[in-house]
Amino acid sequence: MEPRQKDTLTVGQLAGQSSIDRVVLPEYPVISKEPTFSQVNKNFRASDYLYMLAVPSVLVSFYYYKTYRHASSTVVAAGLAFPAMYGVSFQKVNLRLRGFLENQPECEKYQMNFNKVAL
């Protein structure tokens, strides 16, 4: 028996294939198609700030409690956790402004009708 050859794709075949399976449309009203940094920062909710501060605080406290490390590793963990959670919160606000997450308070702020799009 001959060894089975692997199906290899050439560069041209790879370029012709698309990784896009489907188009995702926003369910909620679009406030801004491409929100700027300042628009996103202006639309943070109290829940975003709470999430941004509470999650890293709990994680760092748990790490400190479990390891009893009073040294720089706890500071490093906090230094990485807080900016990471800011990025997560920033993305949530960005998705709300683009209509992919519930955005009723933002619609009221910009005097837009809040109607969920039926998909």
96 inside domain: yes
Whether residue 119 has pLDDT greater than 70: no
Task: Supply the pLDDT for residue 64.
Answer: 81
Residue 90 structural domain: 41-119
Identify the CA nearest to 33 among candidates 99, 103, 105: 99
Write down the pTM of the prediction.
Answer: 0.73
User: Is 26 a member of any domain?
Assistant: no
Helix axes 46-67, 72-97, angle to 10 degrees: 160
What is the rounded end-to-end Cα distance, in angstroms, of the chain?
Answer: 53
- Does 117 map to a domain? yes
Task: Name every residue whose Cβ is closer than 8 Å to that of residue 40 and which is 6 or more positions away in sequence.
Answer: 90, 93, 94, 97
**Residue 28 forms part of a structural domain:** no
Any domain includes 73: yes
Q: State residue 62's pLDDT score.
A: 85
Question: Tokens standing for 39?
Answer: 């628009």
Number of folded domains that form the chain: 1
pLDDT in tens, 12-70: 666 666 777 778 889 999 999 999 999 999 999 999 999 999 998 898 888 888 887 66
Contact 30, 110 (CB under 8 A): no
What is the rounded distance in angstroms from the CA atom of residue 87 to the CA atom of residue 79?
Answer: 13
Residue 23 lies in a domain: no
Classify residue 21: in a domain, yes or no. no
Is residue 77 domain-resident? yes
